[in-house]
Amino acid sequence: MRKTERHLPSATQGAPVRPSSESDKILQALNVMSTRLGRALSEERIQQWLEDTSSYPVDGVVWAIESWSRNSKLLPTLADLLQLLRGWYSDNVGEECSCDHPHRSGYGIEDIKWLMKKRGLHEKRWSIAQWEELFAELDAKREGGAPSWRKEPGGNNFLRT
């Protein structure tokens, strides 16, 4: 390790311990996944997953495991489960923030899908003016129009900053 690099503590250090009822739900989901995929899970791997996912809600962990087991042929890595968990968490757990950024007051996932679908029809690189035109079209089709931050002075220039 170089002097400029720092050793990062493991994500599992100091991880909260789940109540046995929650661990049992996760263990059940892991067992179902193991059966579906026809792969045995070692006790060490199971314990590591329990520790590494301990900061996530049990419903999210179970959902991630079940989702993976229905959609894959292989056992997941921890990174695979954490990616699913992050998606579940952002969709299901609302967080309140005290900063000045307008979180969750802008474009939603359906808006982004619409933008990417429209943009995907064209091969060439787009100019800022073309993107601004597309955002204007999106704002016109959205219920309530543009997000509030886009209606403020300078809000339409966010692509130019």
CA distance 68 to 83: 11
List the domain boundaries for the chain. 20-92, 109-160
- pLDDT at 117 (0 to 100): 82
Average pLDDT over every residue of 106-113: 76
Report the 10 Å Cβ neighbour count for 33.
Answer: 20
Report the 10 Å Cβ neighbour count for 133.
Answer: 12
Average pLDDT over every residue of 29-39: 91
Q: How do residues 57-107 score in pLDDT, each as one tens digit?
A: 899 899 999 998 888 888 888 888 888 888 787 777 655 555 555 545 577
Average pLDDT over every residue of 116-134: 80
- pLDDT at 16 (0 to 100): 56
* Of the candidate ranges 1-5, 16-20, 55-59, 150-154, the one whose mean pLDDT is the lowest: 1-5
> Under DSSP, is residue 19 helix (H, G, I), strand (E, B) or coil?
coil
- pLDDT at 5 (0 to 100): 39
- pLDDT at 135 (0 to 100): 86
Tokens of 110: 């359906």
CA distance 30 to 130: 48
- pLDDT at 105 (0 to 100): 59
Q: Residue 127 — pLDDT band, cuts 50, 70, 90?
A: confident
70, 40 Cβ separation under 8 angstroms: no
Residue 12 pLDDT more than 60?
Answer: no
Report the 10 Å Cβ neighbour count for 10.
Answer: 10
Residue 53 pLDDT more than 50?
Answer: yes
128, 161 Cβ separation under 8 angstroms: no
Tokens of 116: 């990417």
Residue keyed to tokens 């590494």: 52
